[in-house]
Amino acid sequence: MTPSIAEIIWIAGLIAWAVIRYPYTRRSRRHRIVGSVERTRQQSLVALSMVGVGIVPALYALFGFPKGADLPFSPVVAWIGVLAVLAYLFSFYRSHRDLGHNWSATLEIREKHALVTSGIYHYVRHPMYVSFWLMAVAQALLLQNWFVGLAGLVGIGILYFLRVKKEEKLMQDTFGLAYRDYAKRTARLIPKIY
């Protein structure tokens, strides 16, 4: 494993991420939105998080910026990053597949929206956020630059901490007792822990 191969793996992971999301983005447009929370603010949060997991690492991969923040490259750490890529792609795929037409990039309720508690949602309430956290970890492990690694964690942290409570409130307002019961028995991110 070399730094260049690690960068290629990081780029391939992002391409796979986009390939997974594309059909669900197209399909979700077919179902009318019947409820939405702070759509513009939520779109801004997604864009801000993409700076940390998209723009900053892209600048690093393309131009080596900021080079002064490089860490000594460790192939072992990079291989752990490969495992993190595989884990985030699996979680990302399963969360989209299990949600089906219920998925949206922002906080929206669609026509015929259903509470999904099966598949990967049986184990955690927010597997897509799990995939985002794993994406940020993979970025730090593969690109091995403290600034780039921190940018990914901050980007995802902003999205998660400013959004998850509003998302859960929307689900509780929409599904009531069914969501409260689901939340009591299912962890947010780490099965049986948190």
Q: What is the pLDDT along the chain (194 residues), one digit of tens a residue?
A: 999 999 999 999 999 999 999 998 887 777 777 777 777 788 888 888 989 998 999 999 888 888 889 999 999 999 999 999 999 999 999 999 999 888 877 788 877 888 999 999 999 999 999 999 999 999 999 999 999 999 999 999 999 999 999 999 999 999 999 999 999 999 998 887 76
Query: Which CATH number is associated with domain 3-185?
Result: 1.20.120.1630
Of 128, 124, 114, residue with least CA distance to 186 = 124
What is the full DSSP assignment across 10-49? HHHHHHHHHHHHHHHHHHHTTS-EEEES-HHHHHHHHHHH
pTM of the shown model: 0.89
Query: In the chain, where are the structural domains located?
Result: 3-185
